[in-house]
Amino acid sequence: MFAISLGDGAELRPIEPWQAVEFLEHIERAREYTGPWVPLTVNVKDVRSARAVLQNYADKQAADTGRIWAVRLHGTLVGGVLFRIFDTSNESCEVGVWLEPSAAGRGLIGRAVERLIDWAVEERGMHRVEWLASSANHRSIGVAKRLGMSLDGVLRESFPWQGVRHDMEVWSVLAPEWRARRSAEGR
C-alpha cells in the first residue's frame, strides 16, 4: 500500500473497510472534537457503521465519485481527508476533513489537502475544488484561507445538524489559481 509523506512523521494513506476496527477507535478519539462539525464522526458508532462508511468510500472510489484517506502520525490514525464529491463530468470536487485533538495544530490537514488538490487538478483535470464549512467552524475556515481558497458565498441556515441550522460557507479554488499558487511556492 502506498504512503505519501506529509513530513514530521505524518503520512497520507488509503483506508479500507477491513480497517473498520481501527477507524472506529480513531473516531471515538475524534468524536467530541469534531462532532459539532463532521457528521461522519458522530454517525460512526460501532464496527458495523465504521465498515459501512469505509465501504461507501470504497464503492465511491470504484465508481470514481469519491475517495477517503487516513492521516497517520507515527503510524497512528489521527485524522482523515476525503473527496465527498468527485464529479469528473463537471470537473468539480468537494474536499472534507477531520482530525482528533492529539494531532491538532501541526498543519497536517493543510498539507494533506494540498496533496489532494494537487492530484485532483494535475492528475484528474479538476477545474474547481470546493470546501464547505459551518460559519461557526473557525478552524476549518482558517484552513480554507491558508490553502488560498476564495469565499464564494454563504448558504444561510442550510445545514441542520444536532438541533442547530448552520450557515454553510462555500470556499473554492480554481485550477488556474491553484497552479499559480503552487508555482509561486516553487512546487
More confident residue, 17 or 162: 17
Q: What is the mean pLDDT of the chain?
A: 96
Residue 5 exposure: Cα atoms within 13 Å on the Cβ side: 3
Confidence check: pLDDT of 1 > 70? no
Beta-bridge mates of residue 128 = 92, 174
Q: Give residue-wise pLDDT tens across range 18-71.
A: 999 999 999 999 999 999 999 999 999 999 999 999 999 999 999 999 999 999
Amino acid at 60: K
What percent of the chain stands above pLDDT 90?
96
- Model pLDDT, residue 156: 97
